[in-house]
Amino acid sequence: MSQEAMGRLYLDGETVVTMGEEGTCMFQIQKGTLEVVVDGQVINTLAHGEFFGEMSLFNQAPRSATIRSKGESRVMTIDQSAFLRRLQEDPMLGFRILKVLHQRMRQMNQQGVGYEGYLSSSRPVAHGETP
């Protein structure tokens, strides 16, 4: 079975994860485009090869955004044990994930959304706002 055949197909507008729900896995986009939505506003777009939901593997916090399909997409679910096995096979994977997390934090700061809000609540906190 091909890796692509293992992912789930999502139709246009279909929700992959919902902000505030418990997260126990991460995802990788095999095909298509997904929107990252916070409080009804699209704050980012993700495409083929990108991943999301990785923070839940590290901190078991609620999902910090809603992710929905923009058009048809295929998304593969990666649970924590599969992630840890893959990390042992390819330690550079950890570095690549840290690099992406850093880029996302920088982007949130540029948008005026404080990363600390993602860690302490189910919604982002704007700079200057108390979480």
Structure tokens, 23: 């997260």
Q: Give the pLDDT mean for 83-91.
A: 88
Residue 2: predicted pLDDT: 46
Instruction: With a cut of 70, say whether residue 66 has pLDDT above it.
Output: yes
Helix (H) or strand (E) holding 2: none
Q: Domains, the chain, ranges and CATH? A: 4-112 (2.60.120.10)
Residue 113: predicted pLDDT: 58
Instruction: With a cut of 90, say whether residue 102 has pLDDT above it.
Output: no
Q: What percent of the chain has pLDDT over 70?
A: 79
Higher pLDDT, 81 or 129: 81
Contact 116, 125 (CB under 8 A): yes
Instruction: With a cut of 60, say whether residue 127 has pLDDT above it.
Output: no
CA distance 16 to 36: 10
CA distance 70 to 45: 9
CA distance 57 to 6: 20
